[in-house]
Amino acid sequence: MLRIAIVYFILFFNFSFANILQEAIDNAPAGSILKLPKGVYKGSIVIKKPISIIGKEDGVIIDGEGTGTVIEIDSAYVTLKNLTITGSGDRHDKLDAAVKLSNSKQSEISDCIIKDSLFGIDVSMTNNSIISNNYITSKDVDLGLRGDGLRLWYSNENIIKKNKLVKSRDMVVWYSHGNVISENFGEHNRYSLHFMYAGKNYVTNNTYQFNSVGIFFMYSKDTIAIGNTIKSSLGATGMGIGLKDVSNFTLKDNTVIYCAQGIYIDRSPFEPDTKNWIEDNKILYNAEALHFHSLSENNVIKGNNILGNIEDIINDSRGAKTDENEIVGNYWDNYEGFDKDGDNIGDTPHKVYQYADQLWAYNPNVKFFYGSPVITLLNFLAKLAPFSEPVFLMQDKKPKLKI
């Protein structure tokens, strides 16, 4: 059993304490709980033993004074709770952060406010830990110069829950497996959630808005994303959910709304004899509902509500083979068929062709005229009396008639 020491600091809340906190950490036995009263604790600290640092009340501020990382942890069984952590350095090459958690397990960072820190929480080689209910923002610099709000690097089976990332850069999950990422919120970031070489993660009930990209999965497999809401991704290429070189993925019951590209699919599934399942999602009022890039076949696209989008399907590369995906049982608001027997399944397939107005898919210069009267007229004439065979993109053999 670890000895538990309860250490109270009886200090006036207006004082600033030159690094008395580091002295207390160094002198405390392993397993101690340091309960801090309101005040500003200046100077960076390093933790190399199991210990808990808890704000006894609101207004406990640990200020790194603009140099390096504010709190560096290299131990298992460390808890930070109810703290305001501010004032990291600004060096990207050193990953100056509010908190660096390394070589740890069963640690917890929760109920903290992180601000004026280049990177927020940097987690590496850490397993079975909890990062929850933190508010994280970066330094007040341009988007590309900010650090990541939350980084998982070679870290497995952690719970990342109810964190709020605002005006940061990215939240990244790289080389990390088996993590639960739930009920987080991201706003005014670049990638609200970016995966690379990560598998068997569970991504559920997160909300991301006003970012460049909502969720992007890259070089990954065996992951479930369910119940997430991504809306209003910014810019001409603002993306809801992206899949690049991923296999055995499930996207289910997500809502993607008001983005330039709803779901972007690039060479996915990647591994032979695998599939991705895109089911029961709401893909609403985007410029493009489903955007295919490069060879992407063997996706199961089923039971989705595809409504109010300018384009339902975009294929920007002629070899994408969009017609070799299993697309069935979706609701398409521009389906032109009937349901004579009343079974809520269209009597004829819903077929999507590429007409003249989609020339911009291959030539970005043409996109300048997208939505113009000239392109609209050209598209109408192409459908009325096509001067060349339109390109067949896909068909839904059993389209739903009602949502």
- Predicted confidence at residue 3, as pLDDT, reads 43
Which segments of 38-163 are extended strands (E)?
39-42, 45-47, 51-55, 60-63, 71-73, 78-81, 84-86, 97-105, 108-110, 113-115, 119-127, 130-132, 135-136, 150-153, 159-161
**Domain for residue 91, yes or no?**
yes
Q: Are residues 394 and 286 in the same domain?
A: yes
Domain shared by 150 and 284, yes or no: no
- Whether 180 maps to a domain, the answer reads no
Summarize the confidence of residues 311-325 as an average pLDDT. Answer: 84
Pick from 142, 169, 196: which residue ends a domain? 169
Indicate if 390 and 261 belong to the same structural domain.
yes
Q: Is residue 29 part of a domain?
A: yes
Residues 392, 288, 358, 245: is their CA dihedral positive or negative?
Answer: negative
Residues 243 and 121 in one domain: no
Average pLDDT (260-285) is: 96
Mean pLDDT of the region 233-256: 95
Residue in the block written with tokens 């610099």: 141
> Which residue, 169, 187, 206, sits at the end of a domain?
169
Confidence of residue 390 (pLDDT cuts 50, 70, 90): confident
Q: Which domain holds residue 137?
A: 1-169
The answer to whether residue 291 scores a pLDDT higher than 70 is yes
Lowest mean pLDDT among 58-62, 231-235, 375-379: 375-379
pLDDT at 368 > cutoff 70: no
- Cβ-based neighbours of 326, under 8 Å, separated by 6 or more: 298, 299, 300, 301, 302
Question: pLDDT digits over 153-210, tens only?
Answer: 999 999 999 999 999 999 999 999 999 999 999 999 999 999 999 999 999 999 999 9
The residue written with tokens 């990647």 in the block is 270
Task: Indicate whether 67 and 135 sit together in one domain.
Answer: yes
In a domain, 298, yes or no: yes
Q: Check residue 356 and give its pLDDT.
A: 56
Residues 229 and 354 in one domain: yes
Mean pLDDT is lowest, of 15-29, 279-293, 389-403, for: 15-29
Same domain, 236 and 114: no
- 34 lies in some domain: yes
pLDDT of 278 = 98
Task: Spell out the residues 6+ positions from residue 363 whose beta carbon is closer than 8 angstroms to its own.
Answer: none
What tens digit of pLDDT does each residue of 64-111 get? 999 999 999 999 999 999 999 999 999 999 999 999 999 999 999 999
**What percent of the chain shows pLDDT beyond 90?**
78
State the burial class of residue 272 (Cβ atoms within 10 Å of its Cβ: 0-12, 13-18, 19+).
exposed
Tell me, yes or no, whether 150 and 233 share the same domain.
no
Is the pLDDT reported for residue 1 higher than 70?
no
Q: What pLDDT is recorded for position 116?
A: 97
What is the mean pLDDT of the segment spanning 357-383?
Answer: 61
- Residue 200: inside a domain: no
Q: Is the pLDDT of residue 394 over 60?
A: yes
Predicted pLDDT at 366: 58
Residue 30, φ and ψ in degrees, nearest 5: -55, 140
Predicted local confidence at residue 381, as pLDDT: 67
pLDDT of amino acid 13: 39
Q: What is the pLDDT of residue 379?
A: 64
pLDDT of res. 7: 46
Its sign, for the CA torsion 248, 158, 204, 232, is negative
Q: How do residues 46-69 score in pLDDT, each as one tens digit? A: 999 999 999 999 999 999 999 999
Has residue 104 been placed in a domain?
yes
User: What's the confidence (pLDDT) of residue 277?
Assistant: 98
Residues 226 and 165 in one domain: no
The count of structural domains within the chain is: 2
14, pLDDT greater than 80: no
Asked if 341 and 316 count as a contact pair (C-beta separation under 8 A), the reply is: no
Residue 336 belongs to a domain: yes
pLDDT of residue 369: 62
| Domain shared by 356 and 225, yes or no | yes
Q: Helical H runs in 282-372? A: none
CA 154 → CA 126, 196, 232, distances in Å? Answer: 7, 11, 31
- Per-residue pLDDT at 261: 95
For residue 2, pLDDT over 90 is answered with no
- The verdict on 164 and 223 lying in the same domain is no
Is residue 162 located within the same domain as residue 254? no
Q: Last residue of some domain: 169, 193, 209?
A: 169
Q: What is the CATH number of the domain that holds 165?
A: 2.160.20.10
Give yes or no for residue 10 having a pLDDT over 70: no
Q: Lowest-confidence range among 29-33, 164-168, 334-338?
A: 334-338
